[in-house]
Structure 1
Amino acid sequence: MLFGREKRYGETDWKRRLGYTLLGEMHIPGRLRVWHLINALRHLGFWQPRPLTLLDAGGGEGAFAYYCARRFPAWQVVVADDEPETIARGQRMVDGLGLHNIQVQQVDLTALHATACYDIVICSDVLEHIEDDHTVVRHLARALKPGGVLCLTSPSIPQRRHLALVAWREQRIGFHPSQYGHVRDGYSAADMQHFLEANGLTVEVLRWTFGRFGTLMFDIFFVAGDNRPSPLAYAALFPFYMGLSALDVALPNHSGSAIMAVGRKP
């Protein structure tokens, strides 16, 4: 089952619909992030078809929740996001896929009221966009059932060294990292550990992602056009991106440009 193909139903541009149909998730950094999440869930015994409940907090832009709902019909999945356009795109995906085990809800994560509802809560590259991040993590931890897991990902601080071409491309197109909408640069391992332990969770996974190979993939992906590359350049580089991503998952990372933490509720 090709990850990311679900996103074709959220697109109105036929070229992007075709791309998602043929290749799956075309944003390779997002694809790599999900590979790391799936690896962690598999390691902890959650990546299986038994009935489970999943909350993807702030995940309306990605394909992870929709992929899970399609792969595991016994799961009950909720996507919570607060952007109306994202909600509308997510609902188009649900309708196009004909899924009945997923809901897309407009939710302010700082006001989430769920208690002991979910076996898995994902918050992937979301917290760095939110001022009141501690409140959000507290609400997400409260939403877990006993034995459930909270999975957090974020850019890391400090970052690995990036290619000089990244700064060149940023200057050439007038890009500044603040355009990502971040209110902070990211989190350290100590920050992530504190998030989990301060909310009564046991740290199960704390590891760097986007190490040497993942960061190289990210840098080349950005320099080659990021979300709007030349189709020919993208097609030529796609196998290279996928190979670097596979190495990032397969090999241990002693540092990284991103970080993942998973905590379990007792």
Structure 2
Amino acid sequence: MAYGCEQALMETNPVKRLAFRWLGATHLGDRSRNHYLMRALRKITLPEDANVLNAGCANGAHSFYLSERHPGWKITGIEIEQEPIARAIAISEKKGTGNLSFHAGDLHQIRFSELFHLIFSMHVLTYLKDDLEVLKRFSRALKRDGYLILSIPTPPAPSALPRPLQRLFQPAAPPAGAPPISIERSGYSNEEITRKLNEAGFRPLSITHPAGPLWQSAWEIHTLIENKRLLRAMAHPFLLFLVDLDQWLCKEYPYPMGRDSLIIAQRSV
């Protein structure tokens, strides 16, 4: 089963439905984060009946993917937005998946205690109002020696595209008098996330940067041509190939050659 292919069950657009069935999720970020999650899971050992929390599950794609591969796991997804959680619930009912449950909720307010063997949260932490408080709640929700897997963005860094490609895809200059557009995005340094994990009661086991130059180039091109519909449609299969190839190479890079942070931590208290 391709990652995200279950979304075809709720898709009304016939072209998108076919794409989901054959290719799975085609969003570059979502696709790469599933690669990150699989990479991290290969480094840890969980019981066959593991209790797992998908914290910030969106439409549940990661949960569905894991439920097929680990039918003995009990997987709970929590998402604050109502629309994606309703979609996940509807898909689960159509599939008749027995080891999944989805709930609307705020991660700042979860009150689990020593319940989960694993909590994973893929590119969610950066959107939270109080990330440290949520990390502390994750720690309380984990069993002793339970695992936390996080993916988070890294700080802004220079372009990975060669200069000729940068010039080729350079966006048009904004009209005169238009307000400046900020292209910065928030990100965590290794030092900052290590400090917060330690304060929340975690022991970081590994912090790697899995998004290599091919991934970065694909994402930059995607961003620069986002408003050019025809060009985007023509280029997207190639960009998907670059994202998958970057992850199949399974290399670990130092920042800023590698972007995003993939973190494996263990509850230490």
TM-score normalized with structure 2 length: 0.84
| 1:217 Cα deviation after fit | 2.3
RMSD: 2.8
| CA distance in structure 1 between the aligned counterparts of 2:71 and 2:254, rounded to whole angstroms | 37
Q: How does 1:44-123 map to 2 (within 5 A)?
A: 44-46=44-46, 50-61=48-59, 63-123=61-121
| CA distance in structure 1 between the aligned counterparts of 2:64 and 2:241, rounded to whole angstroms | 25
Q: Which residue of 1 aligns with 2:130?
A: 132
Q: Which residue of 2 aligns with 1:20?
A: 20
Post-superposition Cα deviations, 1:165-215, rounded to whole Å, max 9, x if no partner, equal 69844867x99678xxx9x60111112111221122111111112132221
Secondary structure class of the residue paired with 2:157: coil
Q: How does 1:125-204 map to 2 (within 5 A)?
A: 125-163=123-161, 164=166, 168-169=170-171, 185-204=186-205
Task: Tell whether the 8 Å contact from 1:81 to 1:107 is kept in structure 2 after alignment.
Answer: yes
Q: Which residue of 1 aligns with 2:219?
A: 218
| CA distance in structure 2 between the aligned counterparts of 1:170 and 1:64, rounded to whole angstroms | 37
| CA distance in structure 1 between the aligned counterparts of 2:196 and 2:40, rounded to whole angstroms | 18
| 1:8 Cα deviation after fit | 1.8
Is 1:209 aligned to 2:207, yes or no?
Answer: no
Task: Tell whether the 8 Å contact from 2:32 to 2:243 is kept in structure 1 after alignment.
Answer: no
| CA distance in structure 2 between the aligned counterparts of 1:217 and 1:193, rounded to whole angstroms | 29
1:40–1:22: structure 2 CA closer, same or farther, 3 Å change rule? same
Q: Which has the larger radius of gyration?
A: 2
| CA distance in structure 1 between the aligned counterparts of 2:17 and 2:235, rounded to whole angstroms | 18
Give the AA of the match of 1:107.
Answer: G
| CA distance in structure 2 between the aligned counterparts of 1:20 and 1:258, rounded to whole angstroms | 25
Q: Unaligned regions of 5+ residues in structure 1, if any?
A: none
Secondary structure class of the residue paired with 1:90: helix
| CA distance in structure 2 between the aligned counterparts of 1:204 and 1:141, rounded to whole angstroms | 15
Secondary structure class of the residue paired with 1:263: strand
| CA distance in structure 1 between the aligned counterparts of 2:196 and 2:143, rounded to whole angstroms | 18
Secondary structure class of the residue paired with 1:44: coil
Task: Tell whether the 8 Å contact from 1:166 to 1:223 is kept in structure 2 after alignment.
Answer: no
| CA distance in structure 1 between the aligned counterparts of 2:131 and 2:140, rounded to whole angstroms | 14
Q: Tell which deviates more after alignment, 16-25 or 27-36.
A: 27-36
Q: Tell which deviates more after alignment, 136-145 or 10-19.
A: 10-19
1:259–1:84: structure 2 CA closer, same or farther, 3 Å change rule? same
| CA distance in structure 1 between the aligned counterparts of 2:147 and 2:55, rounded to whole angstroms | 13
| CA distance in structure 1 between the aligned counterparts of 2:253 and 2:209, rounded to whole angstroms | 6
Q: Unaligned regions of 5+ residues in structure 2, if any?
A: none
Alignment coverage as a number of residue pairs? 257
TM-score normalized with structure 1 length: 0.85
| CA distance in structure 1 between the aligned counterparts of 2:198 and 2:78, rounded to whole angstroms | 24
| CA distance in structure 2 between the aligned counterparts of 1:261 and 1:238, rounded to whole angstroms | 24
| CA distance in structure 1 between the aligned counterparts of 2:116 and 2:173, rounded to whole angstroms | 44
Task: Tell whether the 8 Å contact from 2:126 to 2:186 is kept in structure 1 after alignment.
Answer: yes
| 1:110 Cα deviation after fit | 0.7
1:223–1:114: structure 2 CA closer, same or farther, 3 Å change rule? same
| CA distance in structure 2 between the aligned counterparts of 1:240 and 1:100, rounded to whole angstroms | 35
| CA distance in structure 1 between the aligned counterparts of 2:209 and 2:129, rounded to whole angstroms | 23
1:171–1:121: structure 2 CA closer, same or farther, 3 Å change rule? farther
Task: Tell whether the 8 Å contact from 1:51 to 1:75 is kept in structure 2 after alignment.
Answer: yes
